Amino acid sequence: MLVELGPRSYVVQVVSGRQDSFAGFVRSALDATWAGRSCRRALLVTDRNVAPLEGPFRAALENLGIATSLSVLPPGESTKSLDCAADLFDELVRIRADRHTVVVALGGGVIGDLAGYVAASYARGLPLFMVPTTLLSQVDSSVGGKVGVNHPRAKNIIGAFHQPVGVWIDTESLKSLSDREYRCGLAEVIKYGVILDADFFAFLEQSVDAILAREPAALRHVVAHSCQLKADVVSKDEREETGLRAVLNFGHTVAHAIESVAGYGGRYHHGEAVAVGMVVESRLAENLGWIDSATTARVEALVERYGLPVSAPELDRDALIEAMTRDKKNQKGKIRFVLPRMIGQVELTDSASEADVREALRVA
């Protein structure tokens, strides 16, 4: 599928076990760009958990005449930091990277966000190629060009927009994920149904067993349709200037607060925080009179059926609300939320008072 952004358009390729096609896709993606056509050097960034998979990707790049250096980082959200970005900058300096050096991000969302931020910043922009290996990164963070790192007190607050030249998604990589990691990705999949596609939400309700069993056909549909929905939004509002792209943040105002209060890499993984956030924000919409209790119940029930948490009762509500005041969507000191009007339609608003938010968090 194509993410249509004029001269910065790129292809998202979804395959199952087609490693032999990777080199050709990379070459095609690079040749479509000014910087990529002259690419003879690459920095392949991954983490220790994914590093055993890097061999064929590095070999494919080398066979294209692209000398490839490897950086292996610790796994986990704490890696998405300025300190780790500095380490990658040091490596780019060491290999004498120039604006024709491609950064290849092999891994989950942390690696994609971090490597993407480094690619956006070094020499004012290097070509970036995404190879997401988790469900969460395949359906969400690898597409759209949002890259960044965390500040200790605010998630994703340091970053840029930097589109990749291509995205290679192989659903075979999902077989090795732990159940927890896999379910974290499903939170973002559920999000797409709530914000954009009521029929897709119904499909997720009807296909729980097949999706949890990781049946290949169900997986390809889930990944490809999620990517298509996101690509459509990004093509229309790349930099969140019209408000359309903000719909992708449903569940995330609360989620980012949960991650900040609980500690990055702590009790809640990102997808788990998003799951709780979707339930809380649905309840907030219900309390504002936007949706009925049956809609909130559908969201909560689907989250639970996919084995995700619906509450975080041990976290202090005052700390959560304070963390929300630092959310990058906020304007004029008001916390802004993306809330559902119905399944398949959401809206960005600052109409919720602190009392409303506190009440929605009361049973979270």
Q: CB within 8 A of 5, min separation 6: which ones?
A: 163, 234, 235, 238
Q: Please indicate whether residue 49 is annotated as part of the active site.
A: no
Q: Which residue among the candidates 172, 240, 322, 359 is catalytic per the annotation? A: 240
Q: Which residue among the candidates 96, 124, 241, 314 is catalytic per the annotation? A: 124
Q: Which residue among the candidates 41, 146, 183, 336 is catalytic per the annotation? A: 146
Q: How many helices (H) and strands (E) does the chain have?
A: 15, 11
Q: Please indicate whether residue 249 is annotated as part of the active site.
A: yes
100 is known to lie in a ligand binding site: no
Q: Which of 173, 211, 191 is nearest to 305 (CA)?
A: 211
Q: Which residue among the candidates 41, 100, 162, 256 is catalytic per the annotation? A: 256
Q: Please indicate whether residue 230 is annotated as part of the active site.
A: yes
Q: Count of residues for the chain?
A: 364
Q: Please indicate whether residue 94 is annotated as part of the active site.
A: no
Q: Please indicate whether residue 124 is annotated as part of the active site.
A: yes
Residue 132 β-bridge partners: 107
- CB burial string 97-130: b at 16+ within 10 A, e below: beebbbbbbbbbbbbbbbbbbbbbbbeeebbbbb
252 is known to lie in a ligand binding site: yes
265: left (phi over 0), alpha (psi -120 to 50) or beta: left
133 is known to lie in a ligand binding site: yes
For the beta carbon of residue 68, count every other beta carbon within 10 angstroms: 19
Q: Which residue among the candidates 41, 191, 245, 329 is catalytic per the annotation? A: 245
14 is known to lie in a ligand binding site: no
Q: Please indicate whether residue 238 is annotated as part of the active site.
A: no
CA atoms in the 13 A half-sphere facing the CB of 70: 18
11 is known to lie in a ligand binding site: no
193 is known to lie in a ligand binding site: no
- CB-count burial class (<10 Å; 0-12, 13-18, 19+) for 69: middle
Q: Please indicate whether residue 329 is annotated as part of the active site.
A: no
Q: Which residue among the candidates 58, 191, 270, 283 is catalytic per the annotation? A: 270
Q: Please indicate whether residue 100 is annotated as part of the active site.
A: no
191 is known to lie in a ligand binding site: no
225 is known to lie in a ligand binding site: no
328 is known to lie in a ligand binding site: no
Q: Which residue among the candidates 80, 230, 329, 336 is catalytic per the annotation? A: 230
Q: Which of 142, 145, 125 is nearest to 188 (CA)?
A: 142
157 is known to lie in a ligand binding site: no
Q: Which DSSP helix (H) or strand (E) runs through 201?
A: helix 198-206
Binding site per annotation, positions for Zn(2+)? 188, 252, 270
Task: Output the known binding site.
Answer: 109-113, 133-134, 146, 155, 188, 252, 270
Binding-site members for NAD(+) are 109-113, 133-134, 146, 155
Query: Which residue numbers are catalytic?
Result: 124, 146, 188, 230, 240, 245, 249, 252, 256, 270
